[in-house]
Every structure is written in structure tokens, then in C-alpha cells.
Chains A and B, each alone.
Chain A
Amino acid sequence: MAVASISVSETPLVLYTLRRADDALILGHRLSEWCGHAPMLEEDMALANMGLDLLGQARELYSYAAKVEGKGNDEDKFAYLRDVRQYRNLLLLEQPNGDFAHTMVRQFFYSAFADLYWRAMMKSADATLAAIAAKSEKESAYHLRHSSEWIVRLGDGTEQSHARAQAAIDHLWAFTGEMFRNDASERALVDAGISVDPASLRPQWLKTVANVVGEATLALPKSDWMQQGGRDGRHSEHLGHLLSELQSMPRTFPGATW
């Protein structure tokens, strides 16, 4: 029954692209889990919309990684035939949906980052990445607006929604530091003008996040301990379960096309 995982030649540009593709796929997948189960129909629509944007980003990024790698892999092989240790997404994005507050806080922390990140990446020396960034930035701006509005509604809504939103912030905060990390592999790309240093975006991110959280009458945690490891394939226990579901068909039916 098992179909073997592919091997990937992770040159810096391939690795870079896969990391962003995995971010988009895993968060998109999480959002798609809500479909049919959201608190109201309007939110079923919105969560699916954001999920579709992210799936679209993932597909473009995987296709580009496949092209750069040039080893015959494609978007589906990257998505369906890599195991948990080969996935490179941020830990934040694989965290379970939890309640609606957890989903929205996760979306808010990430979108506030992605919006800045893709905007900066529009100036990438790599024309394909710059084009993907231009599209992703528009989408992220909408995701940020939508999730910010919910943070404010939940924080400044009822006692219960306030408590749930605060609990979600407290729980997910430790996963935000990883977004701003850089490593040797990416530093070369930053120097070449292909990517941007995410650390440089943190002050602006913090300002956006603090503004919204303040308006929502919520508070950011004092703790600055941050979890990391997703970018190197050291994940939380949650990702394996997500992948076993995501990958079940291609793993069960070797070589079939759908």
C-alpha cells in the first residue's frame, strides 16, 4: 500500500520555494477543513475563499520549485509524496483549527506577516517569485483585513469571545517567532536580491498586530520564548495526521492519475 516518498534536491532556491509553498498548502488545507462546519454561511464562504487563495499560491510555488529543481517532480509529487520530515512549513500553520478564535488568530498572525512579506517580495530579482508575490500580496491583504476584523469583534464582543480570543493568542504566540527567522541557505538569496530578510519585517508586523490586538481590548503575551523547527522538517505532532489524510489517495493507489 505504501508509495515511497520522492527525494528532493534542496538547492537554496528550491528549498526557499518549497518552504513558502508548504506554508500556503498547509494553511489552505487547514482552512478547507472548516468547509461546511463554520459558525455561519458567510464564514464558510470566507474561509473557503482564503483556502482557495492559499491553494493557488501553493500550486504556483510548487510548480516553480519543480521547474527550478528540474528532476521531474511536480506540484502533486511535492504535495503528496513527501513525508513529515520533508515538509518545510511554519509550525504556526499546521496547528489544528481549534475553535474559531484559534483559526482566526492563526490567520491574523500569518496574514499580517504574509502581507508585508509578499509586498517586499514584489521587488525580487527573480521574476517568477516577484509575479507570485504580486498576486499573493493582494490576497494576503484581504486575509489580513478579514482576520483583523474578527479579532476585534471577538476581543471586544462578549466575555466568552474575549476569553477565547485571548486564549488563542496566548497559545499561538510562541509560534510567531519562526516567521522572522533566516538561515544560511536563505541568506545567500537575500544577498542576491532574490528574497528578503524576514527579520527586517518584524517591527512593522508587531506594530500592526499590537494595534489590532489593542483595539480588540486583548493583550499580547509577555513571553518571548519561540518554538521553531518547521523550516527544517522538525514539526509538531499535528502535521503527520494532516499529511496522512491529505496524501491518502496517491499513497494508496500508486501511479494512478486522477
Chain B
Amino acid sequence: MYTQALNTSDADDRHIEDAARAAAFQARIDAEERIEPNDWMPAAYRRTLTRQISQHAHSEVVGMLPEGNWITRAPSLRRKAALLAKVQDECGHGLYLYAAAETLGASREELVDLMLAGKAKYSSIFNYPTLTWADIGVIGWLVDGAAIMNQIPLCRCSYGPYARAMIRVCKEESFHQRQGYEIMLTLARGTDEQKAMAQDALNRWWWPVLMMFGPPDQASQHSDTSTKWKIKRFSNDELRQKFVDATVPQAQYLGLTIPDPGMKQNEAGHWEYSAIDWDEFKQVLAGNGPCNHDRMAARRKAHDEGAWVREAAEAYAEKRRHRQTAQAAE
């Protein structure tokens, strides 16, 4: 669904790269050429992308859990089918992204192991609980909306496989966002209880969604390299502002109130929001969000309990290879 760490990169070992190759590489980037898997690239570029793409993949897969929490309780058969299809799409995004990361030389297994060992991050937003059906609407509308805001520029990312994966992912995310907004619209036009449910969900998700864009620009590290490599094209604050400006009129149309009494529109037409509680963000990243433990436990359980199935598939494939070899030898 979404990657958070758009502003981390490894710059430490650039000095050992051949200067001429690095310059030629940068010239290609500056000329807006796409870098492909077999092309030479600086080790730090490879590492930065591997980390970013795999974190994005992990986010898709962990992101299946909060919405998956409502598949069995969706309030109508139409909503149930749409939600199941949506969560399945997230899984598909995870698969494309692991495949994109594999083009950089990292296997899915090792990347997943890092995540399960708590050594790789995923988006902080999925560490919040889905308490009511309205949360499913808000996730589609705002979480997917924020993801799209982040991912549209990634469709022009310098690394070809990632950029192409993003084009497909963004198309599906836009559909999810419309679906989420439509859930919200139905609630907003519903009973008083439904309207209250919609407002409550917005109240709980608003600030965590703004945190999805990452720390404020003045506190963000390393983003210079990612910008230079055209992995990152807009700053966190620029994207956050774009998102807020797009969202305020949508909330107004729904008749919902953004839970920020200090919010006001400036002369340039931008909506100025109040200070974000970055301590909460740090706590969630540090593993102390409301659902960090549950999410990791659920992924580890699926992985551990599925081990015998994966082993069986491998053992069977191995037996088949043996039989085919034996047959061919006869």
C-alpha cells in the first residue's frame, strides 16, 4: 500500500566507487534515463532501493491485516466481495514489489526474514487498529489517498522496475480510494449512528495519516541523495501539503469535520494544519504503536504455521525432478 522511508539512503561507501562510472551514472539519471537491473549502479543506490522497495512490499503485506480484520464482518455481500478483492490487490502489490526488489539481487525470503526479525520497517499507519466499519472507508479514502500522493511521483523513479510496478499499483490504489470514499459517502448519508461512526473514524485516523508522509523536511535525513538519484522527487512537507489541500474539500463534501480546530486556509489557498505530534510517530516507529505487536505476531504466525506447507511443496518438486531425471536416464 505504501512506503514511508522515502528519505533514507546509504551514502557511506560512495568513495570506493569508481568516480568516472559514478559520474556517467549520474549523467544518465540527470538525463531522465531509466536504470535497469543489468546496468551498473553505485552500491549505495542499490542498497537504498532494495531497502525502500522491500519496505514498501512489507507495508503492502502487513497492510492486509487491518483491513482483513473486517472481511468476515463486512456489512453487505457487495462490500464483502469488494473488500476481499481489495486486500487481495494489496497482496498482489506485495508480490510485484518483492519481484522488483529481487531484480536488485535480494531474495524475497531474505527480505521477509529481515521483516519478521524486526530489522526492516513497514509503514507506521498499519500499527493502528480498525475498530469499526467506517475505518475501512477511511483507510481507502485517506490511507490509500496518501499512498497515491506518495506513489505518483515514484512512477517516474529512476529505477525502471520500481517505476513500472508503481504505475500498475497506482491504478489499483486509485480504484481503492474511490471505493473508500464511496463507503464514507454512504455513511455520511446514513443514520445518525453511521454519521457518528464516520466522524469517529476520521478523528482517529487523521493525524496518523498525516504522519505517513514522514518527518518534517527540516528533520529529515539523507533525502539529498535520494533526490539527486531521482528516487524522491518531492519533499515530505510538499506532499503532505498537497494531500491536505486535496482532502479538506472532500471532508467538507462529506459533512465531516477534520479534527484540527486550528486549521485555516491561507492567502495562497493552502490549508495550514496544526503541529503534528511527532513523539507519537517516533513511538509507533519504535514498536510502541497500538498494534505493532499484533501485526508482527500475525505475520510470524502465518510464516511459522505455513513452513510445513512450503517445505512440502519443495520436497515434492525435488522428488519430481529426481523422477524425471531417472526417467530420462532409462
Contacts and interface: CB of A to CB of B under 8 A. Distances in A.
Is chain B a partner of chain A in the same complex? yes
Contact of A44 (B64, B76, B298, B307): B64
B308 A248 contact: no
Interface stretch (A54-62, A170-178, A179-187): A54-62
**Which one of B61, B87, B94, B309 has the greatest number of beta carbons of chain A within 10 Å?**
B309
Contacts of B274: none
A40 interface: yes
Size bracket, chain B contacts: 35 or more
A257 B187 CA distance: 8
A157 B311 contact: yes
Contacts of B79: 258
Interface string A76-96: 100110000000000000000
A44 B88 contact: yes
Nearest to B74: A249
B186 interface: yes
Nearest to B85: A52
Size bracket, chain A contacts: 35 or more
SS of A interface (majority): helix
A36 B298 contact: yes
**Which one of A41, A56, A250 has the greatest number of beta carbons of chain B within 10 Å?**
A41
B75 A35 contact: no
SS of B interface (majority): helix
Interface string A119-155: 0000000000000000000000000000000001110
Contact of A38 (B75, B77, B85, B302): B302
Interface stretch (B154-162, B189-197, B276-284): B189-197
A79 B194 CA distance: 21
B246 interface: no
Given A100-B309, A153-B312, A161-B309, A48 B80 contact: no
A42 B313 CA distance: 13
Complex A-B, nearest 9 residue pairs according to Cβ-Cβ distance, in ascending order: A39-B306, A157-B312, A161-B312, A249-B75, A39-B309, A258-B75, A36-B68, A48-B88, A36-B64
14 contacts: A29-B72, A35-B87, A35-B88, A35-B91, A42-B95, A43-B309, A44-B88, A52-B85, A75-B77, A76-B76, A157-B313, A158-B315, A255-B191, A258-B187
Given A39-B305, A245-B72, 4 more contacts: A157-B312, A158-B312, A160-B312, A258-B186
